[in-house]
A and B are shown apart, each in its own frame.
Chain A
Amino acid sequence: MDITSSQTAAGLLIKVNEHRIDAAVAIEFKEAVRGAADGLEGTVILDLGNVTFLDSSGLGAVVAVMKLLGPQRPLHLAALTPPVAKVFRLTRMDSIFTIHLHPPCGIKATG
């Protein structure tokens, strides 16, 4: 599972560099994001702009990530492509995530 993470003013940005989060990679995805956020605090923003396919296994993995991050590290989503947004809408899971149209840009604010 190819992901990259970076600190931004809005929180830890995790970008998924894969086109699919499906049953074949759901567990791998969950572990990769867990590892990227390990030991860090604050908001985690998951940039799904490259993801053009998400099935219910992938959705379950995103929810699992939200639960394992816990209330101290709220999970936000960003840049949902239309097929991915459709899955969140159909399952009404769009109601439990803060969803940004675009990922945040810029480096972490200092001072």
Chain B
Amino acid sequence: MDLPASNAQAAPGVQAGTARHRLFEEQVRIRRCFPAGAMETRAALLAISDSLRCKGLTEDDLSSAELILAEVLNNIVEHAYANTEGQVDLCIDLRANGLYCEVRDHGGSMPNGQAPNPALPAINPPQDLPEGGFGWHIIRSLTTQLGYRQENGWNALSFVVPLTWMD
């Protein structure tokens, strides 16, 4: 591979000029602070997806990122703030191997001070057809390095959305 010297740290197989390659040269951070709420969540997700699409993510990676963030934000609206008012602070660092995300709120803390890790709800039709309880399974299925901490009255959930970069 005939890369310029300044790009010598790029991983093998990363083609010069591609979106992934450019990430070795720039820091991309997306930060959004907004009031917790279903419509605010939707607006934030649309804006974040637009920003990430411009950076060349694949549609498959984009859909995973949007889904994970939706589940995390829905949990904040419904559980941390229990449909009361509150602020959400979301920060995403786009790196070559993934989206490094941290989502903060100052609502109620996670049960037992830990991010839940429930089993997938039982599916035994026609009696047991779950209408909920999928969120954490989706989050844990699609992320790595999931961590939760509380500091100064804030909850901070961090995780990585791996990227495949098929470009």
Contact surface of A with B, Cβ cutoff 8 Å: 20, 22-24, 52-53, 55-57, 59-61, 63-64, 66-67, 71, 82-83, 86-87, 90-93, 95-96
User: A60-B132, A82-B59, A86-B67 given as contacts; is B41 within 8 A of A96 (CB)?
Assistant: no
The answer to the question of B163 belonging to the interface, with a C-beta cut-off of 8 Å to chain A, is no
Bound CA–CA A55/B38 (angstroms): 12
| Complex contacts, B125 vs chain A, CB 8 Å | 96
User: A56-B132, A82-B63 given as contacts; is B137 within 8 A of A90 (CB)?
Assistant: yes
Q: Size class of B's contact patch?
A: 20 to 34
Interface-forming stretch among B70-78, B91-99, B105-113, B151-159? B70-78
| Complex contacts, A53 vs chain B, CB 8 Å | 45, 63, 66-67, 70
Query: What would 5 more interface pairs be, CB under 8 Å, given A22-B70, A23-B77, A63-B131?
Result: A22-B38, A56-B132, A60-B130, A83-B66, A90-B137
Q: Closest approach, in angstroms, between the C-beta of B154 and any C-beta of chain A?
A: 22
| Complex contacts, B141 vs chain A, CB 8 Å | 90
The answer to the question of B60 belonging to the interface, with a C-beta cut-off of 8 Å to chain A, is yes
Q: Closest approach, in angstroms, between the C-beta of B76 and any C-beta of chain A?
A: 11
Q: Closest approach, in angstroms, between the C-beta of A61 and any C-beta of chain B?
A: 8
Interface residues of B in 3-49 (CB under 8 A from A): 38-39, 41-42, 45
The answer to the question of B115 belonging to the interface, with a C-beta cut-off of 8 Å to chain A, is no
Q: Would A93 and B41 count as touching, CB distance under 8 A?
A: no
Main secondary structure, interface of A, reads helix
Bound CA–CA A6/B68 (angstroms): 34
Which residue on chain A has the smallest CB distance to residue B134? A56
User: A22-B38, A24-B39, A24-B41 given as contacts; is B66 within 8 A of A86 (CB)?
Assistant: no
User: A63-B129, A67-B129 given as contacts; is B120 within 8 A of A92 (CB)?
Assistant: yes
User: A56-B134, A60-B132, A96-B129 given as contacts; is B142 within 8 A of A90 (CB)?
Assistant: yes
